[in-house]
Structure 1
């Protein structure tokens, strides 16, 4: 068993771990990063990148069909084989050589194998051949191991060999039919994707679609899926699952009905990858979320950090990378005795996790949201005014598509007269989101926004319509 020493040891070389390591190196520390799978992590190979690559073909085709002149040129359906080939190129055929080269160029040492905490400031890495290497951290260990798919405790489910998001985004043979358990982001996006492939899709979503955003967003996605031929069932639960002799999966539902499909995708949530992390060696519970303060340090420790999904603050790659920048910088500052800026919106804290989290759902239609919903703002006791506008009434909508349908909602704090939430639903609304994020983070006064003139004719003119509804 060999021993190596670094200032910082990072467990998990996904985009979050990479950013923690990079910022710490830039801050003057020596860093080792541990990875048991592919450098680049879930997002690069099994989540964000492949899913959006797969969804794009159907999105582009729908957009072309709604523009006179382009619609007449569309002569077929999504080419599934070509779409999968493009996905393969984007994930580099699940080869991480380019990511490894980047680590080397950034001055970060890669240690391949499964890393476990084995004591204070100590990580033991076991490689594929069973060889162990002990990494000793002079200053800190950062856990960036992310999450795995949750499989609910439903009789027969595990024996039915269901898909998780990994199998869905890595699909090679597209099934003729697919049942999807769960109506969150993954379930809704994968329903959109496989419907575009011509698969017969059935979604079982007990509480409806996209429960974390404004209700009108989930309803719009449900309607689009129904229009695309999907069967969306809400208000029912799966009571049992069986993989029958023919190879199909049969789901028995609480209303007495059954759903039969070639494959079953489970998209009911995520669990932290902390079960086999050795956290019990330092007094923490295996399989639990790692609770952190705003500098991403695990509470009760002065050397242990948890960054990204594993801390359960926000399960989004871009927010994890935001946390990573703060964590890498503060680890370096503390290690080298520099000043630490822990004030709200300071350089070393992840303040935006609490009030300005942006998210895009790449369904049909797209859903883009940041900050509060009406329900969350009222639950927080904030006096608000809700500004709604039909996006199809904006001049840019008529030039964008022949039958544009969309909706936008702004949530304004009446006392402070600032935007605290925004939701957009419609084709290509993702590109509207960052302006709203900036307005919320910057606490831009409504009166000042009158002087931020939207270009004409674009969808951004909705900002002017909101202001007109607010009044001066």
Structure 2
């Protein structure tokens, strides 16, 4: 049996940060990983998807300015785009990130980790050998999620794409059908259409990005249409089959139509990777999410020893929020290891309170959309007295200079009682870069009267902040 202060199960971004911060606090730590160190984000999600999306966005930006437009006449080079993606992902080679763990003084044990009772983790290696790790202070579960396939007959038999195949494919499919209308569906439709695929989206709902402000889904719908993506709202796939001779796939829908394509991407949600985690050994239901408090301590287990960080706790399933939770979790573990209480609340370093009111999101479609905080609807449902302020970013001088055909939209949600911003949604070029200003305003609870004195430089797109405050009446 090997003993460490902290045993981390899962070597993705959350696990790396927890272990690194624990070691930085003077504790010992080990990371258990069955696949590649770096996790889904590094090899099959955030990094490769943005690598696929950026070339099309760069080309569109150049063509949005007269004088540069004339210099950009060719289409994207798919082979070079895919090669550039592979340079970022190393095609799954985790040598660099494994070396980082070693350099940081973090042990790495490769194999499948399962809880084996209080403070114990059994790791089964590729050769079948079992090694038992014991935690003096904490076991931290950072196993993340995996794609959930929708209940479509035959989908599990055709080799359907999930985010994993959609971000790592070595060739552009001639025809791609995407099932879903969320962020992954919209981004992958954008990326593969930019590379030359014919793309059809099958969206069960009547809008894209349904959890966002309506303007976000409307703008992405327009943008995908401009790219040539076909979107069918209110339609669900019911049956799929692959022809073994031609390798084409026929997708039958609930409105009686049939689509023939080369690949099908299922992008309808995620489920926790907890089915084979040994949760039953500590009295937890198998295969379920792991509810936690603001220090990421699993609330259903007594004692301060079991934590769950990142997507697996379902609080804010985004890589940047997983890293944020990891910093808070490691701080809480260190505080408790030192014999000091680490209660929730009070804006302490060990309390991941931003999960509840200031989660930034960025979708790299064309146009980009970004948000943070509450939508107007969510704020009203929470009982806040709110006022929404909207402004077309197109009317900002800096935006017109940035692109001849700039199109963007901004919306603020203001808590009238406190006079602070509680939500913001932006669409258009650079929206994903502009959203952090709103994040700071929300987290800092900056009064609007004070925010008025944060003067944006002219002529920048950020001047939209001045216009929003003017529209509010300041």
Alignment match of 2:462 (pick from 460, 463, 470):
460
Does residue 161 of the first structure (1) align with residue 159 of the second (2)?
yes
| Aligned twin of 1:211 | 210
Backbone CA RMSD of aligned residues: 1.0
Unaligned runs of 5+ residues in structure 1 are none
- Aligned partners of 2:285, 2:154: CA distance in 1, in Å? 28
Moved more, 218-227 or 44-53: 218-227
* CA distance in 2 between partners of 1:339 and 1:272 (Å): 30
1:222 alignment partner in structure 2:
221
Contact 1:345 1:352 in 2 (8 A): no
TM-score computed with the length of structure 1 as normaliser: 0.98
Q: Which residue of 1 aligns with 2:124?
A: 126
Q: Aligned partners of 2:138 and 2:93: how far apart in 1?
A: 30
Query: Paired residue for 1:403, among 402, 405, 408?
Result: 405
Cα-to-partner distance string for 1:250-306 (whole Å, 9 max, x where unaligned): 111111111221000000000000011111111111210011111100013221100
1:10-409 equivalences in 2 (<5 Å): 10-207=8-205, 208-245=207-244, 246-301=246-301, 302=303, 303-340=305-342, 342-409=344-411
For 1:226 and 1:463, the matched residues in 2 are separated by: 29
Give, in angstroms, the shift of residue 344 of structure 1: 3.5
8 Å CA contact retained: 1:341, 1:347: no
Gaps of 5+ in 2: none
Q: 2:10–2:141: 8 Å Cα contact kept in structure 1? A: yes
TM-score normalized with structure 2 length: 0.98
Cα deviation for residue 176 of structure 1 reads: 0.3
Question: Partners in 1 of 2:39 and 2:447 — Cα distance?
Answer: 40
Separation (CA, whole Å) in 2 of partners of 1:44 and 1:409? 32
Residue 341 of structure 1 deviates from its aligned partner by 5.0
Question: How many Å apart are 1:339 and its aligned residue?
Answer: 4.3
Matched residue SS, 1:119: coil
Q: CA separation in 2, counterparts of 1:100 and 1:432?
A: 33
Task: Give the whole-Å Cα distance in 2 for the aligned partners of 1:54 and 1:344.
Answer: 41
Does 247-256 or 396-405 show the bigger shift? 247-256
SS in 1 for 2:100: helix
**How far apart, in 2, do the equivalents of 1:271 and 1:339 lie?**
33
2:418 alignment partner, one of 416, 423, 427: 416
Alignment check: 8 A CA contact 1:27 1:333 kept: no
| Per-residue CA distance 1:99-130 (angstroms, 9 max, x = gap) | 11111111110000000111111000011111
Counterpart contact for 2:310–2:319, Cα < 8 Å? yes
Distance 1:220 1:195 in 2: 17
Classify the secondary structure of the residue corresponding to 2:61. helix
Kept in 2, the 8 Å contact 1:15–1:321? The answer is yes
Structure 1 Cα separation of the partners of residues 254 and 157 of structure 2: 20
Q: Is the contact between residue 190 and residue 366 of structure 2 (CA under 8 Å) also seen in structure 1?
A: yes
Deviations 1:121-167 (A, max 9, x none): 10000111111100011111000000000012221111122000000
Distance in 2, matches of 1:40 and 1:155, equals 34
Q: Give the length in aligned residue pairs.
A: 470
Deviation per residue, 1:60-106 (Å, 9 max, x gap) = 00111111111111020111000111101111232111111111111
- Asked whether the equivalents of residues 172 and 196 of structure 2 are also in contact (C-alpha less than 8 Å), the reply is no
After TM superposition, the structure 1 stretch with the greater mean CA deviation from structure 2, 279-288 or 307-316, is 279-288
